[in-house]
Amino acid sequence: MLDSVWWMGDVLELNPPPAYDAVPTAPRQAGTGDGAFCINRHDGYVNATFLDWSVRKVGLKKLWTLKWHKKYSTQGPWTKTGGARPEDWPEWMQRFKDY
């Protein structure tokens, strides 16, 4: 479970990051970015609860490296392994830690 602007959501595939640091005013649509979870609530981090009952802060860019689903690639285009560079991210996210 993550900080989110919606009471529920599915994240089987993360889309490109949201273009703006703003709380979305409508539920996420496929291909429009993961604005429901990628929100700057805690200076570049969101809070997450994992299935082992641990709770920790997760960097916004790290969202693209988590294993959301057994078929989700943790080495996609928005990761360092996938070739993402700091300047590829939306301007509001460029200062956050890369993963």
pLDDT digits (tens, 9 = 90+) for 60-84: 999 999 988 788 888 889 999 999 9
Comparing 14 with 31, the larger pLDDT belongs to: 14
Dist. CA 59–CA 35, nearest whole Å? 14
AA identity, residue 33: G
pTM (2 d.p.): 0.79
- Count Cβ atoms below 10 Å from residue 66 Cβ, excluding itself: 16
Question: Residues 39-58: pLDDT tens digits?
Answer: 888 899 999 998 899 999 99
Whether the pLDDT of residue 28 is over 70: the answer is no
Contacts 24+ apart (CB under 8 A), 27-31: none
